[in-house]
């Protein structure tokens, strides 16, 4: 039988210490499943060089630089927004850095939304200036995020990772040309709205992701360590949900990923 189409995990925090004891072993299992590449998102400037070093050592790995909303408060205790912009602009020029993010808006973290919007805008500015795509994170702030994206559309495109929400919401992002990250969320039967969204939006607007070590899919169980190897099962689950051949899902989601991030 021919090899199944190669897979890409478009969002995996594989640099986190959760994988320090067995990263090489996990990556070996990924390669056995024909997972050929992964993208490590940025969470804060101190972590960017860690991600970069891993990418230098592993063909097929790429990274992004960004300030995740959960890390913003601590970062801004010792740094200014001007410093952040300077750091982003210089780090994002690296060839292995294929995107700006993850960045975005998160209402659950209780941080000032005005400040979150400023930080997001700063990332959009940098992505625009360097013509790189954005990796977006959004929790309970979709109206504000959509307004930002309409006001200043990122020219090199964007992915909204770990999308969770209705088909109506998903279509608003699709109308703006965004790609949505499909991962652990839709694998839970009770996530009915999100399942409907991923069943109905065009396949051209979907990339596969794990968000490992977080967001474990249903068969792993909430709270357990997630891993990039599960992107293979996520492809199978999406094929089942959409009633499309698994190999088509694998091939086209990887194509979408390569088109957006220039892997
Ligand atoms: Zn993430």
Residues with CB under 5 A from ligand 1 (ion): 211
Ranges of the chain with pLDDT below 70: 1
Report CA(155)–ligand 1 centroid distance (Å): 22
SS3 for 261? helix
What pLDDT, on a 0 to 100 scale, did the predictor assign at position 223?
86
Report CA(83)–ligand 1 centroid distance (Å): 23
Report CA(41)–ligand 1 centroid distance (Å): 6
Report CA(14)–ligand 1 centroid distance (Å): 10
Q: What is the pLDDT of residues 196-230, one digit of tens each?
A: 999 999 999 999 999 999 989 999 988 899 999 99
Report CA(11)–ligand 1 centroid distance (Å): 6
The answer to whether residues 165 and 197 touch, using CB atoms and an 8 Å cutoff, is yes
What pLDDT, on a 0 to 100 scale, did the predictor assign at position 242?
98
């Amino acid at each position: 039988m021919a090899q199944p189409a190669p897979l890409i995990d478009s969002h995996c925090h594989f640099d986190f210490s959760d994988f320090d004891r067995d990263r090489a072993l996990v990556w070996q299992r990924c390669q056995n499943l024909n997972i050929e590449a992964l993208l490590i998102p940025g969470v804060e400037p101190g972590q960017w060089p860690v991600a970069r070093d891993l990418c230098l050592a592993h063909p097929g790995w790429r990274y992004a630089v960004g300030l995740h909303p959960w890390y913003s408060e601590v970062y801004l205790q010792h740094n200014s927004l001007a410093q952040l912009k300077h750091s982003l602009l210089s780090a994002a020029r690296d060839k292995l850095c294929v995107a700006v993010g993850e960045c975005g808006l998160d209402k659950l973290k209780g941080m000032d939304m005005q400040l979150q919007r400023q930080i997001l805008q700063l990332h959009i500015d940098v992505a625009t200036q360097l013509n790189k795509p954005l990796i977006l994170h959004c929790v309970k702030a979709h109206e504000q995020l959509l307004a930002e994206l309409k006001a200043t559309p990122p020219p090199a495109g964007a992915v909204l990772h770990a999308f969770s929400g209705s088909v109506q919401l998903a279509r608003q992002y699709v109308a703006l040309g965004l790609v949505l990250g499909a991962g652990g969320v839709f694998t839970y039967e009770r996530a009915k709205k999100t399942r409907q969204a991923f069943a109905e939006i065009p396949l051209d607007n979907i990339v596969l992701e794990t968000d490992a070590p977080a967001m474990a899919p249903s068969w792993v169980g909430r709270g357990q360590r997630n891993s990039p190897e599960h992107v293979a099962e996520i492809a199978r689950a999406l094929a089942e949900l959409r009633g499309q051949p698994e190999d088509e899902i694998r091939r086209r989601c990887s194509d979408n990923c390569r088109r957006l991030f220039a892997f």
